[in-house]
Amino acid sequence: MHTASPAGGFGTGVPIDTVARLEDALLTCWPATRQIVMDGWLVRLADGYSSRANSATAVTADRDLSDAQRGRIEAVYGAARLPAIVRVTPLCGAGVDRILADAGYRSVDPTLQMVLPLSAIRDDDDGDDGTGVELAAGAQAGRQAVYAGLCGYDAAETAAMTRIVETIPGPVATAIVRHETGAPIGFGLIAVDGDTAYLAQIITDPAHRGRRIAQRSTRALLAWAARAGAAQALLSVEETNAPALALYRRLGFETAYRYWYRTIGPSPDRC
């Protein structure tokens, strides 16, 4: 069986068919608002918000990248007035990262894809079982405004983000944790694609960190996804995000593989 090679910098060598299934879930649960299929590459655009939704990504194993393909990708992003970004995953051919580096693309935002069997989630006695979390099915624009407020997004960022979330095709739920005053202090989202749930938008108001707010909302979302039929959860987290990594590892998430971005434009945005 073909596996993703640790020598390529992608991690632990999980089977490539497992990588492909997880990639399918990510692309489905965090969709672009416009995309172009191009010789085994998916060129995704979403008004510049979220590098995941505004980058070219391989959709079949051992996918090479010719100079002509790279030129076409650059033309698509240039026409949209966006920087050309390629997401380098284990589905890429062995030479893709070097080709991009030689063409002047910088490597940014190394990211872990982490997975958790939902059977591993169980109630505990520390008060982090999801109590006090407002769960709602669907990705209502009003609830996205809560996340945008916690992030400090402007109107354009909020609109672009909301368009992505409202494009999610399958079951989706959001979680809000509120202060005793009623002000939102925590948020999270989860979307389900078949047997896999994708966890995103986990955030806590900086003034209230250290109170396991993110753990409470995450547990509630994972339990909801299990009830919706998912058997495993997936998330993407930057390697440098130590607090988030500590939370996810505490919950039992393990790294399936790594990916990173190559870009010739400004650094990708903050999502």
pLDDT tens digit sequence for 128-157: 445 578 999 986 778 999 999 999 999 999
Report whether pLDDT(266) > 90: no
Q: Which tops the pLDDT comparison, 51 or 130?
A: 51
Report whether pLDDT(122) > 80: no
Q: Report percent pLDDT > 90 for the chain.
A: 79
Q: Which tops the pLDDT comparison, 127 or 34?
A: 34
Domains and CATH numbers, the chain: 6-114+258-263 (no CATH), 117-255 (3.40.630.30)
Q: Which residue has the tokens 């060129």?
A: 43
**Mean pLDDT for the chain overall:** 89
Q: What is the three-class DSSP state of 264?
A: coil
Report whether pLDDT(120) > 60: yes
Sheet containing 41-45: give its strands across. 34-38, 41-45, 56-58, 85-88, 254-263, 106-117, 232-238, 196-204, 184-193, 172-178, 133-137
Neighbours of 221 (CB within 10 A): 26
| pLDDT value at residue 132 | 79
Report whether pLDDT(94) > 50: yes
Report whether pLDDT(39) > 50: yes
CA 243 to chain centre: 17
